[in-house]
Each structure stands twice: as structure tokens, then as C-alpha cells.
Amino acid sequence: MYPLSKKTARFSDSVIRRMTRICMKHGAVNLSQGFPDFDPPRAILDRLAEVAYSGPHQYAVTWGARNFREALAEKQSRLMGRAIDPETEIVVTCGSTEAMMAAMLTVADPGDKVIIFSPFYENYGADAILSGAESVYVPLHPPDYHFNPDELEEAFKKRPKALVLCNPSNPSGKVFTLEELGVIADLAQKYDAYVITDEVYEHIVYAPHRHVYISSLPGMAGRTISCSSLSKTYSITGWRLGYIIASPEIIDAARKVHDFLTVGAAAPLMEAALAGLRLPDAYYNELLANYTEKRDIFLKGLDDLRIRHNDPAGAYYVMLDVSEFGYADDYVLCEDLARIVGVGAVPGSSFFREDVRDFIRLHFAKKTETLFEALNRLEHMRSKMLRAGRKSG
């Protein structure tokens, strides 16, 4: 038999989603794959029930139902500070996962370089490989995950086609400051590169931090490919509704890629999710207040257990420093954590380009009772894991 493609040999299946399967096997509280265990807003669910009978049930326009694009353009124009044309500047995708893949395929030819900050959300590495692009990694230095502008410029000197910017950042919880975004924007313009953003946590930014869209910086609207989704904002990760917003020239090409990747996002779900896009500002304030409470409960619980962690400014992940447990392999540690302690996490090394094994990622997008259950289980983490860690050598 001929060998299968070289591309598929270069990346593994998703570690995040593998950890969900391991959690199911051991009955662990799943704080690995980031998704909520609480319901989406009532308005969306009510509309979904109606749509079951009223439709639409057939294909929408390939680049997204017009009413969905119009509502999205209205919401995002306000947030992003420019008038987005729903006819020419949006393509609706199957989640931000497809948006990022389509963006990468739109920009990169085989052999092109793409800058990715490390640690990074695992999809970007696979997106680059599938596009034939070569990743150039720039470290974000823990514990505050800052980047060194000189290291970033060195990467730009390799003449990349694009930089991938996850802001707020998964897994680090970093929210890029205006000043940092200015450095990135200046370099993107100096070296004529695109910026592909992943801004799915745009509404989950803890005070006093705030989200700035890099597309809103001077000179950036035409070279930013903004990807995001409704998954986290409306707690509908299974609906797979995402989008790309960019200039008409970019969207024209991205729509072709999207057309042949997936044809389109689910028509009835777009119709139901419209109710979410039309929610008033109070909804987003409440979402943030709820996540702030979850973050405070969870981080305080970790502090009480004297488990070292970073302080996320955005998104809903926290990196725990597990170096004290003596594991040589953080995958083994995460399996043990699910099996022995009953809490699911993601091995930190799956996010880092560098050989960093000191961290695991937990998320706190869960009901408070689920978080308390996880914290109860984590109470015995130190004694149980120290014993297991010593054995694992």
C-alpha cells in the first residue's frame, strides 16, 4: 500500500479532546477540554425550539445566512470600531476551528512561514501543517507570558506571511496590552505580514484588563483576518458557529476556501443563534460577572490548597505549576490525575514548542458546584500525586 500523506504523520490527534475521553473513562471532573456544563441563554433555546418547526432546514447561503451576517456585523462593528459590511466582509464558518483553518489556507502557500506564539492552542500547529506552511515559534515567557520584542522581530525577519494572535490567549490567559499590540502591528506593517486572530474569548476579560481588537489599530484593518465564534460567548460550543471578518479582498478568497471545506454552517443553528447576537449589553456584563466569580472561586481554592498557578487576565484557563510532583512526563501526570484524583487536565507540554513540562492546564467554565467538587478532589492531590509521581520516576 502507498503510505498515507506525510502531512498527517506530522501531527497527533488533539490532546485536549483525548483528555476528555480519558476523563470519561475514569469518571473524572472534566476540566480539560474547555466547555461549559451550564445552559446557553434562554432566548437562544426558545428560538431553537421554534426553529425546529419553522426551519430553515436546508443549506443557507455558503458564506452564512444574510440575517445572521447582518446581526453579527451590527454587534461587531460596535465592538471593533469600524463599519463592517455584512455583504462583503464576513464569512460564517463551522466554529472558529474552521475559521482559523480557512484563514491559514487563504493566506499561506506551501513553504510560507507563519509566526505562532508559544504556548499556543494546539490547532494552530496542525493548521500550519495542513496548509503546508512552516511555523516560526516565538516564546511567551511564563509566569506572565510576556514576549520579547527583539525575539518577535527576529521571527519577522524570516519574512512570514502571517502571525497568529490568540487574544485573550489560550492556554495562558494572557490579554495583550495596547502597547504589545502596537509592537505587533508595527512589525506586521514593517514586514508586510497578515495577522490572523483567534478572539473567541473576546467577552471574557477580567477587570482591569480590557480587550483591544488589533484590527482597530491604525493601518491594521486591511491586514487583519479576525476569527472568532459564538461558542464561548453564548455557551454553545457544540453548535460550531464561527466566523471570519476581514477586508472584501481577503473575504473573497476565504469564502472560496470555506465553500469547499464545509459548504456552510448549520442553517437552523444560525437562525436560533441570532437571538443571542441580538441580546443587549447587559447579557455580556452578566456573562463576565459570572466568569469573574468562577475565576475567583477557583483561584482562591487553588491558593487554599497551596497549588501554584498563574493569574489569568482573560479566557477561562489556569496553568498549574506541577513541578513539585516529580513526574518526568506530564501526560502520565494528567492520566494519573484523572484516574487517582478524579480531575481532568491538559498536559502543558502539548501547548509549548519548547520542552516545558512544569504545567498542566485546567479550565473553570463550570457551574460553581462542579468547581467545588473539583476543588474537593484536588485537596488530596498533593499526597496522592507525590506518591504516584515518585513511582513514575
Query: Phi and psi at residue 309, in whole multiples of 5°?
Result: -155, 165
Judged by CB under 6 A, the residue of 170, 215, 235, 370 near ligand GLN is 170
> Within 67-126, which residues bind ligand GLN (CB under 6 A)?
97, 121
> Within 3-22, which residues bind ligand GLN (CB under 6 A)?
16-17
Q: State yes or no: residue 350 binds ligand GLN (CB under 6 A).
A: no
Q: State yes or no: residue 228 binds ligand GLN (CB under 6 A).
A: no
Q: Which is nearer to ligand GLN, 161 or 294 (CB)?
A: 294
Q: Position of cell 490572523?
A: 196
* Residue 191 to residue 195: CA distance in whole angstroms: 12
Q: Which is nearer to ligand GLN, 97 or 172 (CB)?
A: 97
Let me know: does 294 contact 286? Beta carbons within 8 Å. no
* Residue 183 to residue 197: CA distance in whole angstroms: 15
Q: Is 294 helix (H, G, I), strand (E, B) or coil?
A: helix
Q: State yes or no: residue 172 binds ligand GLN (CB under 6 A).
A: no
List of residues 6+ apart from 117 with CB closer than 8 A: 137, 138, 139, 140, 147, 164, 165, 166, 169
Question: Distance from CA of residue 309 to its chain's centroid?
Answer: 20
Judged by CB under 6 A, the residue of 22, 28, 30, 33 near ligand GLN is 33
Q: Which is nearer to ligand GLN, 25 or 278 (CB)?
A: 25
How many residues form the binding site for ligand GLN (CB under 6 A)?
A: 7
Judged by CB under 6 A, the residue of 34, 64, 139, 301 near ligand GLN is 34
> Closest distance between ligand GLN and the C-beta of residue 303, in Å?
23
> Closest distance between ligand GLN and the C-beta of residue 7, in Å?
20
Query: Phi and psi at residue 28, in whole multiples of 5°?
Result: -85, 150
Q: Which is nearer to ligand GLN, 135 or 350 (CB)?
A: 350
Q: State yes or no: residue 235 binds ligand GLN (CB under 6 A).
A: no
In whole angstroms, how far apart are CA 218 and each of 15, 152, 183, 189, 204? 38, 20, 12, 10, 24
> Closest distance between ligand GLN and the C-beta of residue 391, in Å?
29
Residue with nearest beta carbon to ligand GLN: 34
Question: Distance from CA of residue 38 to its chain's centroid?
Answer: 19
* Residue 248 to residue 239: CA distance in whole angstroms: 26
Q: Which is nearer to ligand GLN, 244 or 251 (CB)?
A: 244
Give the residues lining the site for ligand GLN (CB under 6 A). Answer: 16-17, 33-34, 97, 121, 170
